[in-house]
Amino acid sequence: MDERASQKVYRDVLANKFATAVETVAVLSICDDNWDTVIDATESCMKVGRAKAEAWLNEFMRRASRRNSSIYVNVRISMLVLRVKPHLHQAWTDLIISTYFSALGLDPKTLDEQTAKLLESSAYYMSLRGRSDILDALAALYMAVGASNRITEPKTPTDGRVIRATLGHCALVSTKVRNVLELDTGQRTSSCTEAIGDGHIPMWVAEVRRMDASFPTTGDVDNGLQLIDAASLERNLLQY
C-alpha cells in the first residue's frame, strides 16, 4: 500500500481532534500517544486488521534521501506517516505567525525593538490588542481545520465576533508567537527539543500555565473569547 493514504487519514484525524477539542489536554498530544491513532488510520485504509496494519508500519521502505536524492536509504514506514504531524504543525505555525504579525502591521523577520515591548508583561496576549490579534490568528486556524462553527461573526455593527475555544487552543497560538519573540531576542536558540512533532509540547504546557491565572474562569464572553473549559480545574495540565 502507498503510505500517502495513511498520511492523509492521519492528518485529517489530527486536524479534527484539534478542531473538536473541548478540554485543553485534548488540543495537543505527544507522538507516543498518537501511535494507536496511526495504526487505526492505516487499518482504515488497508482493511486487514490492526495487527497487520501495525506490522506494515514497522516495515522498511527504500526511499531517496531527503538530503541527497541520488542516495537511497531504508526508512521505517511509520516514520513517513508520523512526519505528517510536524509538517501539519509547521503549516499551522506559518498561518498563525503570518496572521498575528500582519494584524500588528509587523514583519516577524524584522521586529527589532518591538520584540521587547511584546514580551514585556506578556503583552503579546495580555494587552487588549495582543488578545485581539491572538484571536484573529486562532480564527484563521479554525477556518483552516474546518472549525468555522466555533466562530460567531457579528450580526450587527455593534456586535463583536465571538470565538469559542479551550485555554489550550489559545495557548497553542500564543506559544507560536512567543517562540518567534524569544528566538528574536536570543532567549531561545531552538524550538525543537523533543521527539518528532513534539518540539513545542513543553513550551505549550508552560504557556497554558502562564495563561491559566489571567484567563476567564467562567463561560461568559470576555473580549471576544468564550472559554469552553473556563471552569475546569484540569485546564492547567497538571498531568504533564
| Per-residue pLDDT tens over the stretch 37-58 | 999 999 999 999 999 999 999 9
- Decide which of 185 and 177 is more confident: 177
Diameter over CA atoms, the chain = 62
Query: What is the pLDDT confidence band of residue 195, given thresholds at 50, 70 and 90?
Result: very low
Residue 62 corresponds to which cell in the numbers above? 527504500
- Is 108's pLDDT higher than 60? yes
In tens, the pLDDT along 52-75 reads 999 999 999 998 888 888 899 999
- Beta strand 162-165 with 151-152 is antiparallel
Cα 236 from Cα 226, distance rounded (Å): 17
Grouping H, G, I as helix, E, B as strand and the rest as coil, residue 222 is strand
Share of the chain above pLDDT 90, in %: 75
DSSP E strand stretches across the chain? 60-64, 72-76, 151-152, 162-165, 225-227
What share of the chain has pLDDT > 70, as a percent? Answer: 95
Contact by Cβ (8 Å): 58, 78: yes
Split at pLDDT 50, 70, 90, the class of 111 is confident
Mean pLDDT, rounded, for 122-139: 96
How does the average pLDDT of the chain come out, rounded?
A: 91
Residue 197 confidence (pLDDT) above 90: no
Q: Is this structure's pTM higher than 0.85?
A: yes
Question: What span, in angstroms and rounded, lies between the C-alpha atoms of 60 and 18?
Answer: 30
